[in-house]
Structure 1
Amino acid sequence: MVVEDVKCKWCKVEEEDINHALLYCSSFKEVLEVHLSFLQDFQAHLDVLQILAHLVRRNKQGEIEKLFLCAWGLWYRRNQFLYEEKNLKPAEVLDNALSGYSEYQSALENQQQGCKPHCGWQLPPTGVMKLNTDGAIFHDFCRSGAGMVL
């Protein structure tokens, strides 16, 4: 894809570079600052690497992870708009990107407390039937299979 117009596709004002696309576009800046409140602490217009270096120096591991997840979500939103013509809302994209982080944090806390996830078959309650399914694809043989147990 050849870019003919360097203006941001969202705000249509600023030239789009990596910092504008991930941190400063007015189409999502307020929503981003809700999720990454530390961005409000910076007086200067820092680039992504400067912000990352600041977080590393202050040992803000959780904030670094959230910064990368938000960047991924915003880049995903951009690509959906440019290549799939889908206009995703910034809040939904950021919430989705960070939901995995919340699940990870919860699992990590459970693991540290000695809890292990339960992975295994459980007998269904009386009067309830359970259908177990599985499937496989064998690309080399152009075949697939499925199985069920009721």
Structure 2
Amino acid sequence: MALYKGKEYTEGNNIEQPQELSNTYTRLWGLNIPNKIRIHFWKIINESMPTLWVLKSQKLVVNTLCPVCQVEQESVAHLFRDCDFLKQVLEGIGVVSSTSNIDQNWKQRLVEEVLNNSITGFRLLAISYWALWYNRNKIYHEEIREQVHEVIGFINAYMLEIEQLSGLSRSGHIPKHIIWEPPEGDIIKFNFDASFNQ
């Protein structure tokens, strides 16, 4: 159950193990990924994504058909568990579901995915979900439909970039705190926020 614009809605039952959920949040906030992806994954866990199903309950849209697969109504569980496009992308990047119990509560299943994955696997899953939501928005708002291999390429490139930046931050030294001092002698220093042609 989640709140969306002051009203309650639910796509499944509440999670039964609060400690598992707490551990999931601890892993999520400790993950070495951009904050926008952490927040996105948090919204998925709490079913607070503005899917068409939620927007229809708020009387903001009429059609709830998933814009990605155009087969079922768009809910959080559909987009991030049942959608055929999602399954093809996750298979393409090597993310394998740890459980195949489709009748299991959506939130419980996602928490198990997080806790059973390695840190690298969890990072890849979070980036994949964020990339799939980005792809969904391109389809819905711009009518730009990418192929499975294009989304896989985007995810792999993003993952590689994060790993490279992480390596740079570990290998780089932290500069000493430098205090500004006026230049010596008859030197005048000018700082410009624009270009300067002497």
- Measured against the shorter chain, the TM-score band is 0.5 to 0.7
Q: How many residues align?
A: 120
Amino acid corresponding to residue 101 of structure 2 in structure 1:
A
Question: Among 101, 106, 116, which residue is 1:58 paired with?
Answer: 116
Highest relative contact order (Cα 8 Å, sep 6+), 1 or 2?
A: 2
Amino acid corresponding to residue 12 of structure 1 in structure 2:
Q
Deviations 1:89-112 (A, max 9, x none): 233123213322222224434665
Deviations 1:46-76 (A, max 9, x none): 5663344224433622122111111111111
Specify the alignment match of 2:80 in structure 1. 22
- Which 5+ residue runs of structure 1 have no aligned equivalent? 118-134, 137-144
Amino acid corresponding to residue 130 of structure 2 in structure 1:
W
Specify the alignment match of 1:116 in structure 2. 172
Q: How far apart, in 2, do the equivalents of 1:101 and 1:111 lie?
A: 16
Deviations 1:24-48 (A, max 9, x none): 2123422222224322x42212566
- CA distance 1:101–1:48, shift in 2 (3 Å): farther
Specify the alignment match of 2:36 in structure 1. none
Q: How far apart, in 2, do the equivalents of 1:65 and 1:48 lie?
A: 19
Q: Which has the higher strand share?
A: 1
Amino acid corresponding to residue 124 of structure 2 in structure 1:
K
Question: Among 99, 102, 105, which residue is 1:42 paired with?
Answer: 99
Calculate percent identity across the aligned residue pairs.
23
Correspondence 1:11 to 2:69: yes
Q: How far apart, in 2, do the equivalents of 1:69 and 1:25 lie?
A: 17
Q: Is the 8 A contact 1:73 1:93 kept in 2?
A: yes
Q: Secondary structure at the match of 2:85?
A: coil
Q: Is the 8 A contact 1:36 1:66 kept in 2?
A: no
* CA RMSD after TM alignment: 3.0
